[in-house]
Every structure is written in structure tokens, then in C-alpha cells.
Amino acid sequence: MIYLDNNATTRPCPGAIAAAHFAMEEAWQNPSSTHRPGQQTRAKIEMARRSIAELVGCLPREVLFTSSGTEAIHLAIRGVLGARPRTDPPPLVVSSPVEHSAVRELLPELEARGEARARWLKVDGAGRLSLDSLAEAIAEKPAIVSLQWANNETGVIQPIHEAARLCAAAGVVLHCDGVQWVGKEETRLSADGPAAPLLTLSPHKFHGLKGVGCLVIRPGVRLRPQMPGHQELGRRAGTENVPGILAAGAAADEARTWLSDPSFRAQQGVLRDRFENAIVAGCPGAVVNGAGAPRLWNTSNIGFPRLEAEAILLALSERGVCASAGAACASGSLDPSPVLRAMGIAPEVAHGSVRFSLSRQTTREEIDRAVEIAIRCVNSLRASTSAAIDPGS
């Protein structure tokens, strides 16, 4: 198997597996129990919290564990709205049309419940946010702005530092969805990082386990818990997912080690470019969605005009290459990705767009083999499609 679907999830790293194993064998007691083993389990959770804090450059007490990135996003947006007095009209929530569905589908739900009004910002052809449209929206004093740091489908990086400055100057809370950024790129909230009062991250995107997410809450943010109770300093109830949390801490430590040497990242970026250039050269008409904008080193979203992404994915999968069409949660649907639609990508390209996403574990041999397979799949699908359109040719 050549796994190029790392934006969907990553393979747990050895430290994460060992930590989860330890939690199941040794630290399985309830961390809220007052007896010694319970308190030892609590101490392990606090070590994991410190590891996450070190990964993003904040204080451990600012890190809150949830069940997923999605839950952290809901807590950020719903929590900020819930901490305000109810108003008529309801408060404004600003976001962009290229967000992950966790945000994109939450806002219409809040509108339907009369809890918020949504405003969607403009993006350009690469899916980069228009700062002018953000400045205009901020002038309307929204309750919260929610923007991703990097896009899950294209890897395009948003001007989050500028957005954070605009929000901070106007006293508007910014939630940054850092799920695809954190663990792949360096994050230093306390030093030169974006002044986002709320940051979401998800350890299964950097070789931790699924079933745990984090919300970083900087000082001064008022948040109403969505699950009241005593855990997580009263901000999120529910007995902790100890294996997931300990694995998250170990994954954060390994990610930090990897990130500390920029040459590792550069090396993987070279692999992504090698892959992308070879595919474009070998598949006439192929286009890279989001090219030209700054992008994560690991993501390549390639459109193969007049082909169906599902057919390409099946052909790749049969030959051992795992990729996906847009967001993993949209796989199986024939609707073109809303992200590509918001970028104004032509429907015949959007329908045939495939996301390949590397990890720090991807090797050059895998990339070269994947290139060979992908070119063969695309060109044979193309040949059969043109034969079907023009049986006489």
C-alpha cells in the first residue's frame, strides 16, 4: 500500500502506539479518582497536555482536550456565542466558504436555530481569503471569526497572521482551525504566531490517534461549556480518553522533534513537488488546484479534466495507492467539493480532482511508484472515456 491520504488521517507513530498501549495496560484508572493510581493517570494526562502546549507554544492550562477537532470547533464557536447575552438580531459569525465541513455545516445549523447570522468571506481562485472582505465583515462587529490556517483539500495556507491582527485590532475573537497545520508546520503562539485567541488541532493528523482533539484557549476568551461538568477545569465534561490523550502527547513530542530540523520538512516538500511535476508532465491537461498560493508541503490537489475522481480513486486503490477526492467525509459523493467550487474551479476539473497528501513517513520510492501508477490509471481511464465518447476512433 502506498498511503497518500494523510490529510484524512495519519498512521500512528511508534510513540503514540506505545503511549496508548501503556494507558490501556497501566494507566486505565479514572483520572478523576482520588486514589493513587487515578492520580498517576491524571499526572500522565497533564504530561500530555504539556507536550501539546510545547508543540504550539502556549501554556498547558490553555490546552483543553475534546473528542475530535470537530468537537473543538463546535466548542469554540458555540462556546463564544453561548457566553454572550442573547440578542435580536442574533450575533454575526464570519467564516470562509473553503472551511472544513465542521465549520461550513455548523453555521447554517446555528442560523436555522436562530442562534447566529452567518457571513461568508470572499476567496480568490486559489481559495485564499480576501483580507478586504474580512475587514468589511469585522466592521460589523461579529461575535466570532472562524478561519482555517491551512486547507485540508488543497493545502493552501491562509494569511492567518494578517487576519489575526485585523481581528485583534477590532477586539473580535478569532478562532483558527489549525487541524491541518499543527504538527506539519511550526506553530509558536506565544512568540511570533498569530494572535488567535482560539486554536483547534487534531492529533490524528500528526500521527496520534483518532477520538481526541484539542482546543487552545488563550487568556481573556469567555466560553460557555457545551458539556457542563467538572473535567477539563469545568470547560468540557466527560471522562477523559486516556489512551488517545497520552498518544496525543507522544505524537506531539515526535512532531516537535521532526519540526526542529527544517531540512526534514524541506526534504518532504521536494518529494511533493517531484510527485506533482511528474504527474502534470505525464497526464496532459492535468492542473494543480491552488498552485501559485503558499501551500502546506504535503498536499497536492490535482484536477484531471473530464474524468471522474471516483473512477480515478478506484483505479488507484486497485493498484495499492490510497488518495481521496476532497475531504474524506465527502468521499462517495459525486458532488464536486464545495471548496473547489468556491475557488471557481471549472466543473469538469473539479469533478476529476484528486487529493494526494504525504506524511513525514512518505518515501521517495513510494512517490516514484505512485507517479507511475497514477499516470497509467489516468491515461487508461482517459483512453476508455474518449473511446466511449467516440466509439469510432
| 329 a catalytic residue | yes
All three cell numbers of 5: 491520504
CB of 251 to ligand PLP, least distance (A): 13
**H-type helices in 126-241, by residue range?**
131-138, 160-170, 231-234
For position 70 contacting ligand PLP by CB under 6 A, the verdict is: yes
Q: Does residue 289 belong to the site contacting ligand PLP (CB under 6 A)?
A: no
Which is closer to ligand PLP, CB of 42 or CB of 100?
A: 100
Residue 115 DSSP label: S
Tell me which residue has its CB nearest to ligand PLP.
69
First-to-last alpha carbon distance for the chain, in angstroms, is: 36
Stretch that binds ligand PLP, among 30-38, 122-130, 175-183, 254-262 (CB under 6 A): 175-183
**Taking the CB of residue 345, how many other CB atoms lie within 10 A of it?**
23
Beta strands (DSSP E) in 149-272 are 173-177, 198-201, 213-217
Q: Can you give the length of the chain in residues?
A: 393
184 contributes a contact to ligand PLP by CB under 6 A? no
Nearer to ligand PLP, 152 or 362 (CB): 152
Residue from 23, 102, 198, 250 that binds ligand PLP (CB under 6 A)? 102
Sole window of 11-19, 112-120, 177-185, 357-365 interacting with ligand PLP (rule: CB under 6 A): 177-185
Mask 28-67, x = binds ligand PLP (CB under 6 A)? Answer: ----------------------------------------
Q: How many CB atoms neighbour CB 376 within 10 A? A: 15
Q: How many of the chain's residues bind ligand PLP (CB under 6 A)? A: 12
Q: Judged by CB under 6 A, does residue 298 bind ligand PLP?
A: no
Residue 326 · residue 353 · CB < 8 Å: yes
Residue type present at position 58: C
Residue (of 371, 384, 373) closest to 316 by Cα position: 373
CB of 34 to ligand PLP, least distance (A): 32
Catalytic residue among 176, 322, 329, 377: 329
Between 51 and 357, CB nearer to ligand PLP: 357
Q: Which are the contacts of 282, defined by CB distance < 8 A and separation ≥ 6?
A: 371, 374, 375, 378, 379
User: In the complex, what is the shortest distance from the CB of residue 203 to ligand PLP, in angstroms, rounded to a whole number?
Assistant: 8
The amino acid at 264: F
Peptide bond into 219 cis (omega under 30): no
**Contact characters 122-161, ligand PLP, x per CB under 6 A:** --------------------------x---x---------
Closest separation in Å from C-beta 77 to ligand PLP: 12
**Does residue 69 interact with ligand PLP by CB under 6 A?**
yes
Using CB under 6 A as the binding rule, whether residue 213 contacts ligand PLP is answered as yes
Instruction: Output Rg (C-alpha) for the chain, integer angstroms.
Output: 22
Q: Which amino acid, one-letter code, is at 314? A: L
CB of 152 or CB of 300, closer to ligand PLP:
152
Element (H, E) at 119: strand 117-120
Cα 2 from chain centroid? 21
Minimal distance in Å, beta carbon 7 to ligand PLP? 6
CA 325, distance to chain mean position in Å, is: 15
**Which are the catalytic amino acids?**
329
User: Which residues form the interface with ligand PLP (CB under 6 A)?
Assistant: 68-70, 100, 102, 148, 152, 177, 179-180, 202, 213
